[in-house]
């Protein structure tokens, strides 16, 4: 049997790098280009002529590009269970200390930006910008780069501790919230989550007050007695915008804010007396413990160990961590809460305008069918109870605000006493030097008694009463349910109107005429006299 020696027919593989160019020749014919054994070959469809191109130069080593390749290879660790947040966190840790000084500036726009989907120029532009930020130079850049940096801070990338991370987030807020309004929308929510997720030394309430961020967290601190500028917080969930009212803008902002605090305290006191929490007028219910995820709508990953704990943002908003898993109790508010809050604010302003004598009056309208009002009606004998609480709170606040306080400097009393004695000695005349007889003046006897008769007292009272007060007495006699509406129409608090009538009555007839409870009522013993007075 003959041995057959087979010739080795192995052919080295041909590697090709194809450039997509317009290879049409001047005659409109298309050339085909490929590479064989390291040489580029251009084939023309017009002829069989072949031309040999120059060999491709070897690629220059780029350590930065290699670093990016290594970062991307992290996705191969779990190719079939890819989680964008987890991959982002691992890549962010890998690139945490990376710096760059790229000369280019690639504009970048991506929803949920992160490294895996960014090209070479984008990555270099971002890390160069981040290097400048870390060196204290926060310049304007594409919004997607800003969000990528925020995602890093939320995950604790490039921060020494949570406080350092919070300060850097606030620096981003300060720089970009005007240029990019969406920063306020999302970062305000993420900052609260930051306080829940990370154990901060500063309370969330103190943080809000320190940075004047009440308007972003109104619902969380709506019932916090110690919160500053509660009017601003309540106004943000109100159907009536008091901060844009003419009265508020006419140098009455501080007065209004302080007065509104007094009104809220009185309403809460009213509820306490009936063993009901004020919050129940706005909060329909509180959810059961439901799973809670921090930093929603952000790429967030963190391996920070979470201690078992409870975080209370408010009486109704609480977060719980157990074995690293988070749950939360969150409040569910009445759908009509804006109308209820709007009425409280508007009624407060209407009463405050009256007591300060503001030139423009305001009438607070009411939507009695809202659930908070029905709840209030259950607590009180009548819905008008809320009006009385607000009116009295405003009146008492302003009376206390304008009360004149006389302070006596006790260190000057001795000097004043000494000077008075000296003056007294100068005015004293010794009896043995001067004696004069002074005839006593005859007593003055009036033609008539100084006191008015009973009938004259009523006549004088009639002259003293204003037209509004007379009409108020007439309504109190025959249509007492309308007296509150009448007082509002004339821009006067019901208590003030009643006090004015009784004060004049005491001066002229020696007694009060009316009683104020839910409405103005004329005392039975004076009904005939009042009918004659206003008839």
> What does the pLDDT look like over 404-436, one tens digit per residue?
555 555 555 556 566 656 555 555 544 444 444
Q: Which residues touch 514 (CB under 8 Å, ≥6 apart)?
A: 473, 476, 498, 501, 502, 520, 521, 522, 523
Q: At how many degrees (to 10) do helices 467-478 and 494-509 cross?
A: 100
Spatial distance between the Cα atoms of 184 and 191, rounded to a whole number of angstroms? 10
Question: How many CB atoms neighbour CB 372 within 10 A?
Answer: 23
Spatial distance between the Cα atoms of 347 and 394, rounded to a whole number of angstroms? 10
**Has residue 43 got a pLDDT over 50?**
no
Question: How many CB atoms neighbour CB 349 within 10 A?
Answer: 24
Q: How far is CA 284 from CA 191, 291, 335, 372, 375, in A?
A: 26, 21, 9, 9, 11
Strand 325-329 and strand 318-322: the pairing is antiparallel
Spatial distance between the Cα atoms of 479 and 501, rounded to a whole number of angstroms? 18
Q: Could you tell me which residues are beta bridge partners of residue 318?
A: 312, 329
Q: What is the DSSP letter of 182?
A: H
Provide, rounded to the nearest whole percent, the portion of the chain with pLDDT above 70: 74
Q: How far is CA 179 from CA 189, 382, 512, in A?
A: 18, 51, 65
Q: Which two tokens stand for residue 260?
A: 């509104």
The CATH classification number of 454-534 equals 1.10.10
| Domain boundaries along the sequence of the chain | 454-534
Which is more confident, 34 or 68?
A: 68
Which is more confident, 309 or 457?
A: 309
Report which listed range, 162-171, 176-185, 306-315, 490-499, is most confident: 162-171
**Has residue 9 got a pLDDT over 60?**
no
Question: 77-81, 212-216, 420-424, 439-443: lowest mean pLDDT where?
Answer: 439-443
Q: How many helices (H) and strands (E) does the chain have?
A: 19, 11
* Mean pLDDT, rounded, of the chain: 79
Mean pLDDT (whole number) for 506-535: 81
Q: Tell me what pLDDT residue 6 has.
A: 42
Taking the CA atoms of the chain, what radius of gyration do you get in angstroms? 42
Question: How many CB atoms neighbour CB 195 within 10 A?
Answer: 20
Mean pLDDT (whole number) for 65-90: 83
Q: What pTM, to 2 d.p., does this model score? A: 0.60
Report which listed range, 131-135, 205-209, 306-310, is most confident: 131-135
Q: Tell me what pLDDT residue 453 has.
A: 60
Question: How many CB atoms neighbour CB 317 within 10 A?
Answer: 19
What stretch of H or E contains 87? helix 84-94
What stretch of H or E contains 327? strand 325-329
């Amino acid at each position: 049997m003959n041995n057959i020696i087979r010739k080795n027919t192995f052919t080295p593989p041909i590697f090709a790098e194809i450039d997509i160019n317009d290879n049409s020749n001047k005659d409109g014919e298309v050339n085909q280009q490929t590479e064989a054994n390291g040489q580029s070959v251009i084939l023309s469809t017009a002829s069989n002529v072949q031309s040999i191109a120059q060999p491709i130069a070897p690629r220059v080593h780029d350590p930065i590009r290699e670093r990016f390749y290594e970062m991307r290879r992290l996705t191969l660790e779990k190719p079939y269970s890819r989680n964008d947040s987890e991959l982002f966190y691992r890549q962010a840790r890998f690139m945490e200390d990376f710096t760059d000084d790229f000369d280019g500036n690639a504009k970048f726009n991506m929803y949920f930006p992160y490294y895996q989907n960014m090209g070479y120029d984008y990555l270099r532009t971002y890390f160069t910008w981040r290097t400048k930020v870390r060196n204290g130079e926060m310049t304007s850049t594409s919004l997607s780069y800003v969000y990528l940096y925020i995602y890093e801070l939320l995950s604790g990338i490039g921060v020494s501790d949570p406080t350092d991370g919070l300060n850097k987030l606030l620096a981003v807020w300060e720089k970009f919230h005007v240029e990019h309004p969406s920063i306020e929308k999302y970062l305000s929510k993420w900052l609260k989550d930051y306080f829940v997720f990370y154990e901060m030394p500063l309370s969330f309430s103190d943080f809000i007050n320190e940075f004047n961020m009440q308007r972003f967290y109104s619902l969380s601190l709506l019932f916090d007695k110690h919160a500053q500028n509660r009017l601003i917080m309540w106004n943000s969930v109100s159907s009536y915008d008091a901060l844009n009212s003419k009265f508020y803008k006419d140098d009455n902002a501080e007065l209004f804010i302080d007065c509104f605090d007094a009104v809220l305290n009185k309403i809460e006191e009213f509820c306490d007396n009936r063993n009901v929490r004020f919050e129940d007028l706005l909060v329909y219910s509180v959810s059961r413990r439901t799973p809670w995820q921090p930093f929603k709508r952000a790429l967030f990953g963190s391996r920070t160990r979470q201690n078992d704990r409870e975080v209370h943002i408010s009486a109704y908003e609480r977060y719980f961590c157990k074995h690293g898993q988070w749950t939360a109790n969150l409040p569910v508010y009445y759908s009509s809460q804006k109308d209820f809050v709007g009425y409280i604010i508007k009624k407060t302003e209407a009463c405050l305008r009256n007591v300060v004598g503001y030139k423009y009056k305001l009438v607070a309208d009411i939507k009695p069918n809202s659930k908070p009002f029905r709840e209030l009606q259950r607590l009180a004998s009548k819905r008008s109870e809320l009006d009385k609480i607000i009116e009295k709170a405003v009146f008492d606040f302003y009376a206390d605000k304008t009360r004149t306080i006389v302070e006596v400097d006790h260190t000057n009393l001795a000097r004043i006493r000494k000077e008075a004695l000296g003056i007294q000695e100068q005015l004293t005349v010794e009896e043995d030097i001067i004696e004069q007889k002074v005839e006593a003046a005859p007593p003055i006897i009036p033609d008539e008694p100084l006191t008015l008769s009973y009938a004259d007292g009523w006549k004088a009272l009639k002259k003293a009463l204003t037209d509004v007060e007379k009409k108020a007495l007439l309504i109190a006699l025959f249509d007492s349910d309308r007296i509150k509406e009448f007082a509002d129409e004339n821009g006067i608090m019901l208590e003030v109107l009643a006090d004015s009538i009784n004060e004049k009555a005491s001066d002229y007839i020696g007694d009060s005429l009316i009683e104020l409870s839910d409405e103005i009522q004329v005392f039975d013993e004076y009904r005939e006299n009042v009918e004659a007075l206003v008839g």
